[in-house]
Structure 1
Amino acid sequence: MSIFKSAFMISSFCAIALSAQADESPLTPHTAEYQVNYGSIELGKARYQLPAPQDNLYQYRFDSDVSLLMLWDKRTVISTFSEEGGQLVPMRYIHNRSGTGSDYQEQSAYVLDQKLVHSRYKDERAKFPYTQDLFDPLMVQLQFRLDIMKGSDKLHYKMLKSGEIDEYDFKVVSKERMVLPSGTYETVKIEVVRDNDKRQTFFWMSPKLGYLPVRLTHFEKGSKQLDIQLLNYHYSEPIMAQTDKQTTEQPKVAADTPPQMPPKS
């Protein structure tokens, strides 16, 4: 089941960079669907949904359904948060997992006036102090994208997941054109910083799409294990960027030009 756990952890953080003007904000209502592969084997799909906020209350959702032979894994993750001056403030996080092996649920509630977070992972309950640099593992990817748009060079994030607080660092590798079956994208390539080279995780983000991730690959001991690629996206408001043949107003076309939460060391 480690394949599916890795697939979730990676795809749930596949969402710096060099400052460039994006045509969309990460908080613009949108959906994005991805193909999840293990090597050359198709495992299934993952989907993100960010509806329009209500009274500055956002709800970001992730769904995945992957399988390999007789093994299967299905997850739904929902993050509720607000936004204050470009800073996202977590409120509630729910993660439901079912499939081969044990089903479980993870929940966290952020009690800001008490500067406390109540956490439940499987049957374990815990409390953690709340600080402004602490995020849940889903909404943190939106904060990540917002920080990039602001030109932030501090790519360090703390996340509460699986009943523990983990810290992640990232670095910009290069700018790169990414050619996928869904289209061609001008991207910024990011690497997860680790203490050794046994694991490597890279992802590519499109500035024109509000730094939406278009691809993520994960290597174990030099061998590609996971490859997650953008299949399609849709913003509720048309993206201004145009191509020679078409615009991205069509929800099933995902391209800059016609024909994208990592395991811890």
Structure 2
Amino acid sequence: MGAVLTSTLFSPLLSASTNKLQSYQAEYDILRQGERHGSAFRRLSVTNEQCELSYKSDIKWMIFNDKRSEQATFDCANGDIKPLTYVMERKGTGPDRKYTLKFDHQTKTVLSNRSKYPLEINWENGVQDLISYQAQMRLDLLAGKKEFDYPIVDKKGKARHYRFEILGTETISLPYGNVETIKAKRVYNNDKRQALAWFAPSMDYLLVRMWKGEKGVEQFDVQLRSYEVKK
């Protein structure tokens, strides 16, 4: 699930009547050991069969500060998410960073602002970026799937797989209120990192909480504060 809120599992709402993504906005608190250290904001805009998902987070902890923004566009027709562009910017403690990706589904290539030439990766069917896979996973949850495996091109242009599995159901208390959820975990190749996510079936599997740890120590806990479906 990457760094703080980058490549997290925040997933958009689905129209129950049409099985199409709906525009929405959501706010989250970013916690560490029970104390609030920042906030995150997500917005999905849907125009015909194309979606734009934007994200911003602002975190302050002791002398550390981190501001991030992500923006992705992708085709979202017929239950298949196809990434088109991805932009990530990071500012704060340490060097500033900016990454961009462009996906060409006809030539099966990916362009990056870090390279003059197409990336040397093995194009896989269903390839996603660090945001678009979240939308695809949300659709897969609605379809009743229990295991998930997505080929990803990350912000640095590296190909990898994100794998998840369902653990069960759980009712959790959030700034938003009490919510019945489906609990999932990301499957890593080792036990050093842990990542958990909670999705609310009553909200069309909106992700309402995400927790990440490393070697058993909590890194952050992201919890839903508010959301609104846009007409």
Higher relative contact order (CA 8 A, sep 6+): 1
Picking from 176, 183, 202, the partner of 2:170 is 176
Picking from 28, 53, 56, the partner of 1:34 is 28
In structure 1, distance between residues paired with 2:85 and 2:159: 16
| Corresponding letter in the other structure for 2:134 | Q
| Corresponding letter in the other structure for 2:128 | F
In structure 2, distance between residues paired with 1:158 and 1:164: 10
Partner residue in 1 for 2:133 = 140
Q: Which structure would you say has the larger Rg?
A: 1
Contact 2:82 2:126 in 1 (8 A): no
In structure 2, distance between residues paired with 1:138 and 1:43: 23
Partner residue in 2 for 1:64 = 57
Cα displacement (A) at 1:151: 1.6
Partner residue in 2 for 1:149 = 142
Picking from 220, 229, 243, the partner of 2:214 is 220
Which residues of 2 match residues 218-257 of structure 1 at below 5 A? 218-237=212-231
Question: How many residues of Structure 1 are paired with residues of Structure 2 in the alignment?
Answer: 225
| Corresponding letter in the other structure for 1:145 | R
Contact 1:23 1:209 in 2 (8 A): no
Cα displacement (A) at 1:124: 8.1
Contact 1:108 1:117 in 2 (8 A): yes
In structure 2, distance between residues paired with 1:24 and 1:210: 12
Measured against aligned partners, the alpha-carbon deviations of 1:207-239 in whole angstroms (never above 9, x if no partner) come to: 1111111111122222322111001000125xx
Contact 1:26 1:212 in 2 (8 A): no
Partner residue in 2 for 1:46 = 40
Contact 2:9 2:207 in 1 (8 A): no
Partner residue in 2 for 1:106 = 99
Asked if residue 9 in structure 1 is aligned to residue 6 in structure 2, the reply is: yes
Assess, with a 3 A threshold, how the Cα gap between structure 1 residues 234 and 9 changes in structure 2: closer, same or farther. Answer: same
In structure 1, distance between residues paired with 2:5 and 2:117: 22
Cα displacement (A) at 1:169: 0.9
In structure 2, distance between residues paired with 1:186 and 1:125: 47
Cα displacement (A) at 1:89: 1.0
Assess, with a 3 A threshold, how the Cα gap between structure 1 residues 219 and 38 changes in structure 2: closer, same or farther. Answer: same
Assess, with a 3 A threshold, how the Cα gap between structure 1 residues 198 and 124 changes in structure 2: closer, same or farther. Answer: farther
Measured against aligned partners, the alpha-carbon deviations of 1:4-54 in whole angstroms (never above 9, x if no partner) come to: x721336x3344xxxxx968967111111111112233221111101231x
Assess, with a 3 A threshold, how the Cα gap between structure 1 residues 199 and 82 changes in structure 2: closer, same or farther. Answer: same
Q: RMSD of the TM alignment (CA)? A: 2.3
Picking from 191, 198, 201, the partner of 1:204 is 198
Which residues of 2 match residues 78-89 of structure 1 at below 5 A? 78-89=71-82
Given the two structures, how large is their TM-score scaled by the length of structure 2?
0.88
Measured against aligned partners, the alpha-carbon deviations of 1:38-76 in whole angstroms (never above 9, x if no partner) come to: 2233221111101231x4221111111111122211111
Assess, with a 3 A threshold, how the Cα gap between structure 1 residues 132 and 225 changes in structure 2: closer, same or farther. Answer: same
| Corresponding letter in the other structure for 1:138 | I
Picking from 70, 73, 81, the partner of 2:66 is 73
Contact 2:20 2:79 in 1 (8 A): no
Assess, with a 3 A threshold, how the Cα gap between structure 1 residues 27 and 215 changes in structure 2: closer, same or farther. Answer: same
Picking from 90, 103, 106, the partner of 2:83 is 90
Contact 1:61 1:76 in 2 (8 A): yes
Unaligned runs of 5+ in 1: 16-20, 238-265
